[in-house]
Structure 1
């Protein structure tokens, strides 16, 4: 892999991102839908931080930049809602349904992951390429490593947040709802979206329209994942 050309512009640190997420975890009610996703994402970011400290990424600078820019998009959505502004369309369903009594914790977690991976990660790859002066291909190893951690975490989430001692019953509508979404497929689509947006960077009008369409489509998927279900 050709590594990214390092630049002097510093991004925020992973530790600063973790501090924000831990503060949210302490402040939000445990059953709040945003709190459920935040706990999931905090665990992912802590795992990324450990891998960075252990030198498990091929390019530490590139991995740190991608991770921080990725996280900042979620935190920007939180800040928007706190300030009374509308977050990106992909995040609106999670904030709108965060206290709905008939939406289950697993749905909140998957809707947040859907918004963050399918929309934010694609834009974070483009942001990182601009920051580091490189091409998406130069970040593919870092993208794949973060994706591997997300897949492992998704498996744990499904085990921990599914109801009942036998996990999901065949008749439970949640079984069918979550079976329609795959993190692995989402990652593949995100990588294509990131490369496409990068290729369109010299056509700002078209790039902006594609970004808006992506945001809206991901928001629709999140809304479907948050369909209220009977207890």
Structure 2
């Protein structure tokens, strides 16, 4: 019973996150760019919850805490924009271009992943370390496991959302654009950013400046990923 509760209680926390994502997704039509990302993120969250419940995380409590903190960043961005705010710079391109007819669903999905991994994951890791009173290095296994799920999902996303066989052509603009971005590199960058933010925690001014630069830089990449490629 104790062993079962060790996994089921954290899994329920992640299930609550998944339910929140379902509620958000129900607001938007299938063509909405934020909705495209939301469906992708829901799939990742369900996979994390399943793996926690099946004991695939060494520390299920830490894994659930990281997942919840991670999701909070995205949900807050949605709520801020829907209340009339600008939202974090990393998310602005996706919200601004969410209905652009020249942007492909795959671009929406990867732009959302870029914002969430490149910016939110670093902050979520630091937030989780603070809440658990540990160093981010102690959460590396959980970080890596979530990253593995994302990498596996990215391959499926590319297969499911590719608009057609023309993308096999090297000269195709979308092939060129998507080939310039890598989830592995974004995940490595998030780990380095989290360590930098943690090292700067006793220097709030520098930490804030670093966070703003990170936000802006990730937003710039997102804007490029959303370059309209067709009418």
TM-score normalized with structure 2 length? 0.93
For CA contacts below 8 A with separation 6 or more, give which structure has more relative contact order. Answer: 1
| Aligned 1:155-194 pairs, distance under 5 A | 155-165=155-165, 167-194=167-194
Distance in 2, Cα, partners of 1:203 & 1:91: 26
Is 2:29 aligned against 1:40?
Answer: no
What RMSD over aligned residues (CA atoms) do the two structures have, in Å?
A: 1.3
What is the match of residue 3 of structure 2? none
Is 2:52 aligned against 1:58?
Answer: no
Tell me the SS of whatever aligns to 1:202: coil
Structure 1 gaps of 5+ residues are 1-9
| Aligned 1:54-203 pairs, distance under 5 A | 54-165=54-165, 167-203=167-203
Q: Deviations over 1:170-224 (max 9, x none)?
A: 2320000000000001111110100010010000000000000000000000000
Distance in 2, Cα, partners of 1:86 & 1:194: 24
Give the aligned length: 221
Tell me the SS of whatever aligns to 2:52: helix
Give the structure with the larger helix fraction.
2
Tell me the SS of whatever aligns to 1:174: helix
Distance in 2, Cα, partners of 1:141 & 1:170: 37
TM-score normalized with structure 1 length? 0.93
Shift of the alpha carbon at 1:169? 2.7
Structure 2 gaps of 5+ residues are 1-9
Shift of the alpha carbon at 1:99? 0.2
Shift of the alpha carbon at 1:167? 4.6
- Structure 1 stretches of 4+ with a deviation exceeding 3 A read 165-168
What is the match of residue 20 of structure 1? 20
Shift of the alpha carbon at 1:85? 1.1
